[in-house]
Amino acid sequence: MHDMFFLTIIWSGVYLSHFLASKTKLTPVLYFLAFGSLMVNMGVLPEESTEFIRGFSEIGIILIMFALGFEEDTLRFIKGIKRSWGIALFGALAPFAAAYFISFYFWQDAKLALMCGLAMTATAVSLTMVSLKSEKLHGSAAATGIMTSAILDDIASLVAVAILVPLATGESDISALSILTVIGKAVAFFFFIVMLELLIFPHDSKLSLFHKIPILRNFGVKQFISFGDGSQSALAVLLIALVISMIAFEFGFHPAVGAYMAGLIVKQDYFRLHDDSKVDRYTQTREVVDSVAFSWIGPVFFVELGTKIVLDPSILVNVIPQVITLTIAIFVVQILSASIAARFTGSYAWHESILIGLGMLGRAELAFVVMDIGYVQNSILTTDAFYTLMVTAFMLNVAVPISIKIWKPYFEGGKQLKIKLGGREHFLSKVINLK
């Protein structure tokens, strides 16, 4: 019964969060995180989530990422990857360096600083994409830039964790084989996705293979979805999402990455079951997916994430200088590095580049994995360092929906940035060709 009680509390918070979000015009993600933190510090929700709630939240983030990929255009995504290498590279190096040197300054421990740098490297793209969706910006080119950069960032972070964590824990030395293994898994996974896209999913294709072997046209995803005249199409696509998520996990990625890729390669054409069909199965399926992802299952992930913030007043007072310094440093260098990289390596306009910089602020899954490795499993992080990272991650996560909300009117052109020089107002958007 404990699991049912906890789920009841979480869903009550989700409902309340949606209500407050509608009244304040802020994204509900902000309230999901705050509610989770409030409940765990009041003792209503446990500090260590039950296996059921952890599994439920894991399904939630998989559904969210699948739903976001389901809405994305594949060709635009591929084009976005070509523009995003610089954002991923500089958007990861800058916060890593900032966290490393600040941590070393406060605690004078190279291994501890290394773990802090790793924890502050990867972006929590799920938080950003949900925040963008709530502001109706998830279909923009900047949103695609954030998503593609975050996936590249995720790959790089996995490589870094695989290489640097054994060094920090003293378990092993860096070897060419370990590096090649991680990179090889990443390449193999994306090759697998390409094969799904080109050979397994299509019911028809321009590839000569489909003309030489016409029977292949009878075994695509369209036939899988069309079972029962498409009445089980929602179940079919969610099953695809879970299967590819598990495969992604086996390749070393977070399951959410696999879910997004699954949504990306499931096309609207696959739902055109019959030319004379009066039922729009694509729209119907999308409504079901959006409902479970954004209304009642997906939000559990963010509430559960909020429960990671357990506030101990005595420790918090001790780490106020560290938290303020690290939060401000990551906030500034992340926005600057990602925005400048987006502008000059990805050729995004300034209004898009700044949104990308803001969208790269979140810290979640990998950050908490690194914290667990460094604090719980190996005692590399001190209690003060752990709380500093935990509160900083929370503050950065809270900053994501707020900063996107603030930047939206400038992004859409409804407002212009102004500065006063010599008693006269200058429109900054004109000076830097903002839009």
Q: Which CATH architecture has domain 57-420?
A: Up-down Bundle (1.20)
- When mean pLDDT is compared across 2-11, 64-73, 84-93, 101-110, the lowest value belongs to 64-73
Q: Work out the mean pLDDT of the chain and round it to a whole number.
A: 82
Tell me the whole-structure pTM to 2 decimals. 0.71
What pairing do the DSSP bridges indicate for beta strands 418-421 and 424-427? antiparallel
CA distances from 393 to 60, 227, 251, 327 (A): 20, 45, 26, 8
Nearest to 87 by CA among 402, 382, 357: 357
pLDDT surpassing 80 at residue 91 = yes
- What does the pLDDT look like over 212-241, one tens digit per residue? 666 666 667 777 887 767 778 889 899 999
pLDDT value at residue 430:
45
Give me the percent of the chain exceeding a pLDDT of 70. Answer: 83
pLDDT value at residue 426:
46
Q: What residues pair up with 424 in beta bridges, in sequence order?
A: 421
- What does the pLDDT look like over 309-367, one tens digit per residue? 788 888 888 999 999 999 999 999 999 999 999 999 888 988 899 999 999 998 866 67
* Residue type, position 398, single letter: V
- What does the pLDDT look like over 18-77, one tens digit per residue? 999 888 766 787 788 889 989 999 999 998 889 999 899 889 888 988 887 887 777 777
Over its C-alpha atoms, the chain yields an Rg (Å, rounded) of: 22
pLDDT value at residue 9:
95
Confidence band for 81, pLDDT divided at 50, 70 and 90: confident
Q: What residues pair up with 427 in beta bridges, in sequence order?
A: 418
Q: What does the domain layout of the chain look like in residue ranges?
A: 57-420
| The three-state (H, E, C) secondary structure of 181-237, written as one string | HHHHHHHHHHHHHHHHHHHHCCCCCCCHHHHHCHHHHHCCHHHHHCHHHHCCHHHHH
Instruction: Give the integer Cα–Cα distance in Å for 17 and 235.
Output: 28
CA distances from 318 to 114, 201, 313, 373 (A): 21, 55, 9, 23
